[in-house]
Chain A
Amino acid sequence: MPKDDGIGAATVRREDVRFLTGRGRYSDDIKAFGECAAVFARSTVANGTIKSINTEAAAAMPGVLAIFTGEDFVDVGGNPAGWLVNSRDGEPMKEPKRPVLAHGKVRHVGDAYAAVIAETVEQGRDAVEALEVDIEEHAAVINMKDALAGTNYVHDEIGTNQCFDWGWIEDNRAATDEAIKGAHHVTTLELVNNRLVPNAMEPRCSIGDYNHGTGDYTLQTTSQNPHLTRLLISAFVLGIPENKLTVIAPDVGGGFGSKIYHYGEEALVLAAAKKLGRTVKWTSDRSEAFLTDAHGRDHVTKIELALDEKGNFLAFRTETYANVGAYLSNFSTVTPTFLHGTLMAGNYTVPLVYVNLKAVFTNTAPVDAYRGAGRPEATFSLERVIDMAAREIGRDPIELRRQNFIKPDQYPFASAAGLEYDSGNYDALMDQMEKVSDKAGFAARRAESESKGLLRGFGVNAYVEACGIAPSNLVGILGSRVGLYDAATVRVNATGNLSVMVGAHSHGQGHETVFPQIVADMLGIDAASIDIVHGDTSKIPFGMGTYGSRSLAVCGSAVVRATEKVIAKATKIAAHMLEAEAGDVDFNDGTFSVKGTNRSVSFGEVALKAYIPHDYPIDLIEPGLEETAFYDPANFTYPSGAYCCEVEVDPETGKVRVDRMTAVDDFGNVMNPMIVTGQVHGGLGQGIGQALVEQTTYDDDGQLLSASYMDYAMPRADDLPFYVVDHSQSTVCTHNPLGAKGCGEAGAIGSPPTVVNAVIDAMQSGGKNITHIDMPMTPHRVWTAMNNAQ
Chain B
Amino acid sequence: MYAFDIERPTSVADAVAALKDEDAQALGGGQTLIPTLKQRLAAPSKLVSLTGIADMQGIANDGDTLRIGGATTHATVAVDTADTYPALADLASHIGDPAVRNRGTIGGSLANNDPSACYPAVALASGATIITNTREIAADDYFQGMFTTALEDGEIVTAISMPVPEKANYQKFVQPASRFALVGVFVAKFADGVRVAVTGASNEGVHRWTEAEDALSADFSAGAIAGLTVSADNLIADLHGSPEYRAHLVKVMTGRAVAAAS
CA distance A713 to B182 in the complex (A): 13
CA distance A711 to B177 in the complex (A): 5
Contact A706 B39 (CB under 8 A): no
Name, among B3, B40, B177, the residue most crowded by chain A CB atoms within 10 Å (CB to CB): B177
Interface digits, B209-245 against A, CB 8 Å rule (1 contact, 0 not)?
A: 0000000000000000000000000000011111001
Some 21 contacts from A to B, beta carbons below 8 A apart, are A122-B1, A122-B3, A287-B39, A653-B173, A653-B249, A655-B173, A693-B177, A709-B177, A709-B178, A711-B178, A711-B240, A712-B177, A778-B176, A778-B240, A779-B173, A779-B241, A780-B240, A780-B242, A780-B245, A783-B245, A783-B248
CA distance A122 to B40 in the complex (A): 11
Count how many pairs of residues, one from A and one from B, have CB atoms less than 8 Å apart in the complex: 45
| B252 on the A face (CB < 8 A) | yes
CA distance A784 to B249 in the complex (A): 12
Known: A693-B177, A710-B177, A780-B245. 11 other contacts (CB 8 A): A653-B173, A655-B173, A692-B176, A695-B239, A709-B177, A710-B178, A711-B238, A712-B177, A713-B176, A778-B240, A779-B176
Q: Please, which residue of chain A has its CB at the minimum distance from the CB of B177?
A: A713
Contact B245 A784 (CB under 8 A): yes
Q: Please, which residue of chain A has its CB at the minimum distance from the CB of B241?
A: A780
Q: Measured between C-beta atoms, what is the minimum distance from B180 to chain A in Å?
A: 8
CA distance A705 to B239 in the complex (A): 8
Q: Please, which residue of chain B has its CB at the minimum distance from the CB of A287?
A: B39
Contacts of B245 in A (CB 8 A): 780, 783-784
Contacts of B182 in A (CB 8 A): 779
CA distance A653 to B176 in the complex (A): 13
CA distance A711 to B241 in the complex (A): 12
Contact A706 B177 (CB under 8 A): yes
Size bracket of the B interface: 10 to 19
| A91 on the B face (CB < 8 A) | no
Q: Measured between C-beta atoms, what is the minimum distance from A656 to chain B in Å?
A: 11
Contact A653 B252 (CB under 8 A): yes
Contacts of A227 in B (CB 8 A): none
Contacts of B40 in A (CB 8 A): 125, 129
CA distance A709 to B40 in the complex (A): 18
CA distance A784 to B176 in the complex (A): 16
Contact of A784 among B3, B39, B238, B242 (CB under 8 A): B242
| A86 on the B face (CB < 8 A) | no
| A734 on the B face (CB < 8 A) | no
Interface residues of B in 156-176 (CB under 8 A from A): 173, 176
CA distance A780 to B183 in the complex (A): 12
Interface residues of B in 10-39 (CB under 8 A from A): 39
Q: Measured between C-beta atoms, what is the minimum distance from B124 to chain A in Å?
A: 23
CA distance A692 to B176 in the complex (A): 9
Q: Measured between C-beta atoms, what is the minimum distance from A465 to chain B in Å?
A: 28
Q: Measured between C-beta atoms, what is the minimum distance from A384 to chain B in Å?
A: 22
Decide yes or no: A711 and B239 within 8 Å by CB, A125-B40, A784-B245 being known contacts: yes
Q: Please, which residue of chain B has its CB at the minimum distance from the CB of A706?
A: B239
Contact B239 A652 (CB under 8 A): no
The main secondary structure of chain A at its interface with chain B is loop
| A499 on the B face (CB < 8 A) | no
| A602 on the B face (CB < 8 A) | no
Query: Nearest 5 pairs between A and B by C-beta?
Result: A713-B177, A713-B176, A710-B178, A780-B241, A693-B176
Q: Measured between C-beta atoms, what is the minimum distance from B112 to chain A in Å?
A: 14
CA distance A624 to B177 in the complex (A): 57
CA distance A653 to B238 in the complex (A): 17
CA distance A710 to B239 in the complex (A): 11
Contacts of A287 in B (CB 8 A): 39
Q: Measured between C-beta atoms, what is the minimum distance from A778 to chain B in Å?
A: 6
Contacts of B248 in A (CB 8 A): 783
Q: Measured between C-beta atoms, what is the minimum distance from A459 to chain B in Å?
A: 20
Interface residues of B in 32-60 (CB under 8 A from A): 39-40
| A600 on the B face (CB < 8 A) | no
| A697 on the B face (CB < 8 A) | yes
CA distance A136 to B3 in the complex (A): 32
Interface digits, B161-204 against A, CB 8 Å rule (1 contact, 0 not)?
A: 00000000000010011100010000000000000000000000
Q: Measured between C-beta atoms, what is the minimum distance from B78 to chain A in Å?
A: 18
CA distance A692 to B239 in the complex (A): 14
Name, among B3, B245, B248, B252, the residue most crowded by chain A CB atoms within 10 Å (CB to CB): B245
Q: Measured between C-beta atoms, what is the minimum distance from A661 to chain B in Å?
A: 19
Q: Please, which residue of chain A has its CB at the minimum distance from the CB of B255?
A: A652
Q: Please, which residue of chain B has its CB at the minimum distance from the CB of A125?
A: B40
Contacts of B252 in A (CB 8 A): 652-653
CA distance A782 to B39 in the complex (A): 34
Contacts of B239 in A (CB 8 A): 695, 697, 705-706, 711
CA distance A710 to B252 in the complex (A): 24
Interface residues of A in 280-317 (CB under 8 A from B): 287
Contacts of B177 in A (CB 8 A): 693, 706, 709-714
Contacts of A712 in B (CB 8 A): 177
CA distance A709 to B248 in the complex (A): 25
Contacts of A780 in B (CB 8 A): 240-242, 245
CA distance A653 to B247 in the complex (A): 11
Name, among B40, B176, B239, B245, the residue most crowded by chain A CB atoms within 10 Å (CB to CB): B176
Q: Please, which residue of chain A has its CB at the minimum distance from the CB of B240?
A: A780
Contacts of A784 in B (CB 8 A): 242, 245
Contacts of A711 in B (CB 8 A): 177-178, 238-240
Q: Measured between C-beta atoms, what is the minimum distance from B104 to chain A in Å?
A: 15
CA distance A410 to B39 in the complex (A): 59
Q: Measured between C-beta atoms, what is the minimum distance from B235 to chain A in Å?
A: 13
Contacts of B3 in A (CB 8 A): 122
Q: Measured between C-beta atoms, what is the minimum distance from A278 to chain B in Å?
A: 24
Contacts of A695 in B (CB 8 A): 239
Contacts of B249 in A (CB 8 A): 653
Contacts of B242 in A (CB 8 A): 780, 784
CA distance A263 to B249 in the complex (A): 44
CA distance A41 to B138 in the complex (A): 47
Q: Measured between C-beta atoms, what is the minimum distance from B198 to chain A in Å?
A: 15
Interface residues of A in 706-738 (CB under 8 A from B): 706, 709-714
CA distance A277 to B252 in the complex (A): 64
Q: Measured between C-beta atoms, what is the minimum distance from A291 to chain B in Å?
A: 13
Q: Please, which residue of chain A has its CB at the minimum distance from the CB of B116?
A: A710
Interface residues of A in 726-762 (CB under 8 A from B): none
Interface residues of A in 102-134 (CB under 8 A from B): 122, 125, 129
Q: Measured between C-beta atoms, what is the minimum distance from B170 to chain A in Å?
A: 16
Interface residues of B in 61-107 (CB under 8 A from A): none
Q: Please, which residue of chain B has its CB at the minimum distance from the CB of A709?
A: B177
CA distance A122 to B43 in the complex (A): 14
CA distance A702 to B88 in the complex (A): 41
Contacts of B1 in A (CB 8 A): 122
CA distance A520 to B176 in the complex (A): 46
CA distance A655 to B176 in the complex (A): 10
Contacts of A706 in B (CB 8 A): 177, 239
Contacts of B240 in A (CB 8 A): 711, 778, 780
Contacts of A709 in B (CB 8 A): 177-178
Q: Please, which residue of chain B has its CB at the minimum distance from the CB of A711?
A: B177
Q: Measured between C-beta atoms, what is the minimum distance from B188 to chain A in Å?
A: 22
Q: Measured between C-beta atoms, what is the minimum distance from A777 to chain B in Å?
A: 11
Q: Measured between C-beta atoms, what is the minimum distance from B57 to chain A in Å?
A: 29
Q: Measured between C-beta atoms, what is the minimum distance from A685 to chain B in Å?
A: 15
CA distance A129 to B1 in the complex (A): 13
CA distance A655 to B245 in the complex (A): 12
CA distance A299 to B242 in the complex (A): 25
Q: Measured between C-beta atoms, what is the minimum distance from B7 to chain A in Å?
A: 21
CA distance A705 to B3 in the complex (A): 29
CA distance A125 to B3 in the complex (A): 12
Contacts of A655 in B (CB 8 A): 173
Contacts of A778 in B (CB 8 A): 176, 240
Q: Please, which residue of chain B has its CB at the minimum distance from the CB of A652?
A: B252
Q: Please, which residue of chain A has its CB at the minimum distance from the CB of B40?
A: A125
Contacts of B241 in A (CB 8 A): 779-780
Contacts of B173 in A (CB 8 A): 653, 655, 779
Q: Measured between C-beta atoms, what is the minimum distance from A34 to chain B in Å?
A: 24
CA distance A370 to B148 in the complex (A): 42
